[in-house]
Amino acid sequence: MTLDSVQHTSAAPARRAAPPSPAAEDAASLERLRTLLDRRRRWTALESPFYSDPAIFAHDIAGIFDRHWFFAASVAEIPEPGDFVTIDVGSRSIILIRDDDGGVNALRNVCRHRGARVLTEPSGSVGNLVCAYHSWTYGRDGSLIHAAAAGADFDPGCFGLRKVHSMTVAGLIFLCLAPEPPADFAAVAEIFAPFVEPHDIPRTKVAFQQEIVEEGNWKLVMENNRECYHCDGHPELACSYFTTWGLEEHEVPEHQIDTWHRSVLADHELRERCERYGIPWQVYDAPDSREAGIRMGRDALDGDGESFSATGRRLSEKLLGDLPDFRLGDGSLHLQPNSWFHLLADHVITFAAFPMSENRTLVRTTWLVADDAVDGVDYRAEDLTHVWRQTNIQDAGFVGLTQRGVTDPGYVPGPYTPTEHQVEAFVNWYTMRMQEYIR
């Protein structure tokens, strides 16, 4: 496992008084939130204001995204020194830039002079970071290199771009905007790093990236991801993915009984194969019992059992890292609050949900293949991405439908069925974190 050293914020922000924020000062909205959290019942959907009230959205950002680690990108998105991506969460923008020594710097994307956005593209490559307004120039580590005519008593050392905590785990980059990040994530990283490492993300490249702005609150996006009860709505996915995921034997509907039996057999074979190769497959299930909520496990795929194609056959001819076999099923990793991952022998897919407003969420999906795989030869990007592009669009539809309904005063929070246990776990994790926030 490779953990980047945690980068500490510069001293400058400490001198700053917190700006008076309408949300933070709005005692009425905090009181509303407290009431709603207190009366939340387990195994019941959240009430309407959690999805519709702009003040509660502001509290979500403050209570979740400003306090906890969240997934931002993988190192494959910024392979070379100077490569960057910008990550937006609400009105926050953070630069992730690859340093000369291969490390990753995370910086607030705001000029320290008059506040202009420094980088406006979602990704690219730069030498230094130059603000377009008055040409203040920063190094890739955020230090201020040049500011013209800035006066005799100006100390450039006080005006570097503000740093953000980042941690890279097996090629996955996480951010934390809190001054002092919570500790549990590092321990959880020790758990999932060995699960991800065999897929060797540092030796992958981006085959394709899809961005969808879903017309729903970020929690609806996450809740939708956490169950397969709706998988009848994913016909392409259902070819290779066992849609009985999450069901107990006695709950399996009649039309899925054959699927269920195939999946039991396939899972059995997969585990034997993994044991043989020393590939981790065990479920680790702590989606709400840890502060850094996690669920991971390796599930067999249907058909050829290799990848997300119509027949289950591989979608790239190059194995990732030093993997010994294509038939390794779907390594599935869920991390609260905003990400999920599919780790296969031939490719990896990362999914990140970034809240935009109380009713809009950006979902960024990235397909990674071996860095020496050639499009058109070893894989075809269109085929590689087909199933999950379709699935994502279908999911966006479900999220939009739900946003419209839960903001209707006629909405009554309904019960989760047993198979929606990971939805309950996400909502319970969220509720506990928000209880801590308002305490």
- How many residues at the interface with a second copy, by CB under 8 A? 81
Shortest distance (Å) from residue 157 CB to a second copy: 13
Shortest distance (Å) from residue 387 CB to a second copy: 20
Whether residue 81 contacts residue 210, with contact meaning beta carbons closer than 8 Å, is answered with no
| Subset of 302-331 contacting a second copy (CB under 8 A) | none
| Subset of 139-158 contacting a second copy (CB under 8 A) | 147-151, 154
Q: Which of 30, 66, 143, 389 binds a second copy (CB under 8 A)?
A: 66
Shortest distance (Å) from residue 355 CB to a second copy: 13
Question: Among residues 112 and 327, whose Cβ is nearest to a second copy?
Answer: 112
Whether residue 274 contacts residue 280, with contact meaning beta carbons closer than 8 Å, is answered with yes
Per-residue x/- mask for a second copy, residues 399 to 428, rule CB under 8 A? Answer: --xx-xxxxxxxxxxxxxxxx---------
Closest CA to 271 of 263, 282, 257: 282
Question: Among residues 2 and 21, whose Cβ is nearest to a second copy?
Answer: 21
| Subset of 205-234 contacting a second copy (CB under 8 A) | 223, 229-230, 232-233
Shortest distance (Å) from residue 29 CB to a second copy: 8
Q: Where are the alpha helices (DSSP H) in 12-151?
A: 22-25, 27-38, 49-52, 54-60
d(CA 393, CA 191): 32
Shortest distance (Å) from residue 117 CB to a second copy: 4
The answer to the question of residue 291 lying near a second copy (CB under 8 A) is no
Please tell me the number of Cα atoms within 13 Å of 414 on its side-chain side. 9
- Residues with Cβ within 8 Å of 20's Cβ and at least 6 positions away in sequence, in order, are none
Q: Where are the alpha helices (DSSP H) in 152-247?
A: 184-196, 218-225
Shortest distance (Å) from residue 230 CB to a second copy: 5
Question: Among residues 34 and 203, whose Cβ is nearest to a second copy?
Answer: 34
The answer to the question of residue 294 lying near a second copy (CB under 8 A) is no
**Which position has the token pair 């001819």?**
317
| Subset of 165-204 contacting a second copy (CB under 8 A) | none
Shortest distance (Å) from residue 398 CB to a second copy: 5
d(CA 439, CA 432): 11
The two structure tokens encoding residue 249: 């034997």
The answer to the question of residue 21 lying near a second copy (CB under 8 A) is yes
Q: Which of 30, 113, 324, 428 binds a second copy (CB under 8 A)?
A: 113
Shortest distance (Å) from residue 347 CB to a second copy: 29
C-alpha angle 56-62-63 in degrees, rounded to nearest 5: 85
| Subset of 72-111 contacting a second copy (CB under 8 A) | 90-94, 108-111
Shortest distance (Å) from residue 106 CB to a second copy: 11
| Subset of 383-402 contacting a second copy (CB under 8 A) | 397-398, 401-402
| Subset of 248-277 contacting a second copy (CB under 8 A) | 251-253
d(CA 414, CA 293): 24
Question: Among residues 175 and 345, whose Cβ is nearest to a second copy?
Answer: 175
H or E element that contains 424:
helix 421-438
Q: Starting at the edge strand that comes first in sequence, how are the strands of the sheet with 165-169 ordered?
A: 70-74, 172-176, 165-169
The answer to the question of residue 376 lying near a second copy (CB under 8 A) is no
Shortest distance (Å) from residue 404 CB to a second copy: 5
Beta strand residue intervals within 225-347, DSSP E: 284-286, 294-299, 330-335, 339-343
Instruction: Return the bridge partners of 85, or none.
Output: 96, 123
Q: Which of 59, 67, 140, 162 binds a second copy (CB under 8 A)?
A: 162
Would you call 272 helix, strand, or coil by DSSP?
helix
Closest CA to 15 of 127, 155, 132: 155
Taking contact as CB under 8 A, which single stretch among the options 68-76, 168-176, 246-254, 381-389 is the one that binds a second copy? 246-254
Question: Among residues 291 and 358, whose Cβ is nearest to a second copy?
Answer: 358
d(CA 108, CA 111): 8
Taking contact as CB under 8 A, which single stretch among the options 8-16, 181-189, 309-317, 336-344 is the one that binds a second copy? 8-16
Taking contact as CB under 8 A, which single stretch among the options 46-54, 73-81, 235-243, 365-373 is the one that binds a second copy? 46-54
Number of Cβ within a 10 Å radius of residue 57: 24
C-alpha distances in Å from residue 37, one per residue of 75, 157, 225, 364, 373: 37, 44, 22, 29, 49
Taking contact as CB under 8 A, which single stretch among the options 47-55, 185-193, 289-297, 300-308 is the one that binds a second copy? 47-55
The answer to the question of residue 134 lying near a second copy (CB under 8 A) is yes
